[in-house]
Amino acid sequence: MKSIPKCGVHTYCLILAILFLLSGTLFAQTFISTNHTNNNSSGLVTFNVQNTNSYAIIITDLSSHFGTNIANNIQVLYRATPINEPGTWTLGVVEPGQNGWISAGATTLSTSGGIYHAFSNLSIIIPANTTYTIAVSATFLNYMNLTAGAGINTFSSGGVNLLTGDGISWGGPAVPSTPVNYPRGFIGSIGFVPAMPCSGMPQAGTITGNSNACGGQNITLQVNNGSIGLGIDYQW
């Protein structure tokens, strides 16, 4: 069994306990959640993500509040220019390829009302000291009515701010659409890791250890004759 060197993503561990016997950089995932509550619904909501760090980050994970639908078509889009549209939407249709919107991922889930973990493999890279806009679209999406003129809500962790409120939080029909509801608050969370430049030539190596594991028990695996460089880690 071989490990696979990966660049620019965090490490997923499918084993209960892993022992790394190599030097290298491993990145912990950081999560930011909003405290908005469900009191309305449609198919789209927007928010800004502000990276105040001196290095880029990668948004990898997203959860949101969805309504009841056996085939909820969920999409995530982003725009490299932050939204600042107080009161009147001027950016046209939210759709990949329109007005700077880029598709980051799509999935279909059966949802019955509540917060669902929709994505764990996103790769939205936000440069240092930069703000992007994120749009979450679904067949049936829940969000919160916010009060216009009440200002901006900031949810922070790890040098990153998730921003909702005036000029930022728009809602409306699912993509492709023109947002018409304002302001609406995203209910959910994002997860991110630092994005580090890659250096060095990775060698996968081989893994040794017990290949069987029972529920509730830990096992130890080790990588032999492998190497990783700066910004490179292992995905199991």
Does residue 80 sit in helix, strand or coil? Answer: coil
Alpha-carbon torsion (138, 139, 143, 145), positive or negative = positive
Which ranges of the chain would DSSP assign to H, the alpha helix?
none
Task: Please give the distance of CA 3 from its chain centroid, rounded to a whole number.
Answer: 25
Class of domain 38-194: mainly beta
pLDDT at 9: 40
Digits of tens for pLDDT over the chain (236 positions)? 444 444 444 333 333 333 333 334 456 799 999 999 999 999 999 999 999 999 999 999 999 999 999 999 999 999 999 999 998 999 999 999 999 999 999 999 999 999 999 999 999 999 999 999 999 999 999 999 999 999 999 999 999 999 999 999 999 999 999 999 999 999 999 999 999 766 666 777 788 887 777 877 777 777 787 776 655 656 66
Residue ranges per domain, the chain?
1-27+200-236, 38-194
Please state whether the peptide bond connecting residue 183 to the residue before it is cis, i.e. omega within 30 degrees of 0.
yes
pLDDT at 200: 66
